[in-house]
Amino acid sequence: MEQNFIDIAKKAKQASLAISGLQTEVKNLALNKVADALECSAEEIFNANKTDLAEAQALVTSGEITKSTFNRLKLDENKMRDMIQGVRDIAKLDDPIGKVLLKRELDEGLILTKVSCPIGVLGIIFEARPDVISQISALAIKSSNAVILKGGKESKNTNKKILEIINNTLSNIENFPKNLIQQVFSRDDVAQMLKCDNYINLIIPRGGNKLVKYIKENTNIPVLGHASGICHIFVDKSADINVASKVVIDAKTQYPSACNAVETLLIHKDLEKSDELLASLQLSEIKLVSNPEAWDVEYGDKILSYKFVNSLEEAIEHINTYGSGHTDSIITNDVENAEKFMNEVDSAGVYYNVSTRFADGFRYGFGAEVGISTNKTHARGPVGLEGLTIYKYKLTGNGHIVDDYSKGKKKFHHRDLK
């Protein structure tokens, strides 16, 4: 029998309050137990994923899902290894909760402390990627947040199996709160989630532009995420052609359906061997496209838009006009140009002589991520533990009252304490 969504949300709220004071040792124990359980149950997860892949193949044929969505759905040995290692890595990270961010004596005996704390209840809506379940669950545990997950129907068997393993493990951890990680499945659940601002504190969508746009237009709950991944690489005139070729090929072909794959290549008109660069891309089975309609397209495939520009300034202007604020890179041997590019390109990630594919919480050492944010408030770029915390102010004194300061009997001296 399906649970009422409000009941699920209420349980999540209760769980978020229960875990807020849980000791770091208990959270780390839970994470390591989860990693062990996932490793022991890998074959069960692969079998569930095979079922999803078989069913999804028909959806690709009918045009209901794209080829890139199908590719994201597949859980192979490498993804499984990274998924499990990500959980273990999160267990090794410092607890982000209870950190003193500021300590200030406002007046003698009147101490203000700014302390990190959990956000509360997260609503995560994602498409295809089954490894998201373990990443988000692990981050939620370590950051003391509750989470309600809604995955795509194309990955329902894999999602159910992974969460079953996680929750079975957590149920055997002494003092661990129940209902911290819950999962819903229907479109109606999504509609209910978006209305549930009494219980859910943050919505994080992981999917295409259409999904993110729908969520932002249909909720009053703050939304953290990115609508699209229109990533650029600019090859400056001083670039090493071998470096440029290697980086662009990696950024386009290593995982074409990822949001941090490059979609547009900008080439300085004075770059020597530009023909050689384009030829190397074609030899790597990259289809090149050059027309204005392509500048804001996210292909999710081995297709790359390219354009010749007259200057670094024109490249920056193009990126700030057509980019999605995700990740953009410059290939150059000119340090000043690299600094100018990284300072003036308005994106969450700005890179110098490296592939855009590095935009990832696991590669940043965050253990994992709940997604990549192009927001300019709260969290930006790959969102790991720190992005799942907020803060509160604690003020302690001894009968201090505002009236004494209003009448000039006392004065603030605002002295920061170590």
What is the pLDDT at residue 376? 87
Residue 132 has pLDDT above 80, yes or no: yes
Say if residue 181 is in the same domain as residue 268. Answer: no
Say if residue 164 is in the same domain as residue 258. Answer: no
What is the pLDDT at residue 3? 63
What is the pLDDT at residue 271? 98
Say if residue 174 is in the same domain as residue 309. Answer: no
Say if residue 64 is in the same domain as residue 164. Answer: yes
Say if residue 36 is in the same domain as residue 183. Answer: yes
Coil, strand or helix at 97: coil
Closest CA to 52 of 135, 160, 136, 150: 160
pLDDT in tens, 340-387: 999 999 999 999 999 999 999 989 988 888 889 998 888 999 999 999
pLDDT in tens, 212-258: 889 999 999 999 988 789 999 999 999 999 999 999 999 999 999 88
Q: How much is the CA Rg of the chain, to the nearest whole Å? A: 24
Q: How far apart are CA 146 and CA 178, in angstroms?
A: 10
Residue 41 has pLDDT above 80, yes or no: yes
Residue 209 has pLDDT above 80, yes or no: no
What is the pLDDT at residue 211? 84
Say if residue 57 is in the same domain as residue 184. Answer: yes
pLDDT in tens, 138-163: 999 999 999 999 998 889 999 999 99
CATH number of the domain enclosing 275: 3.40.309.10
- Number of folded domains in the chain? 2
Q: How far apart are CA 105 and CA 409, in angstroms?
A: 17
Say if residue 44 is in the same domain as residue 190. Answer: yes
Say if residue 81 is in the same domain as residue 159. Answer: yes
Q: How far apart are CA 304 and CA 261, in angstroms?
A: 10
Say if residue 243 is in the same domain as residue 334. Answer: yes
Say if residue 197 is in the same domain as residue 339. Answer: no
More confident residue, 286 or 366: 286
pTM for the full model? 0.87
CATH number of the domain enclosing 154: 3.40.605.10
| Domain extent for 269 | 231-358
pLDDT in tens, 84-104: 999 999 999 999 999 999 999
Closest CA to 162 of 129, 122, 120: 129
Average pLDDT across the chain, whole number: 94
Say if residue 194 is in the same domain as residue 51. Answer: yes
Say if residue 87 is in the same domain as residue 197. Answer: yes
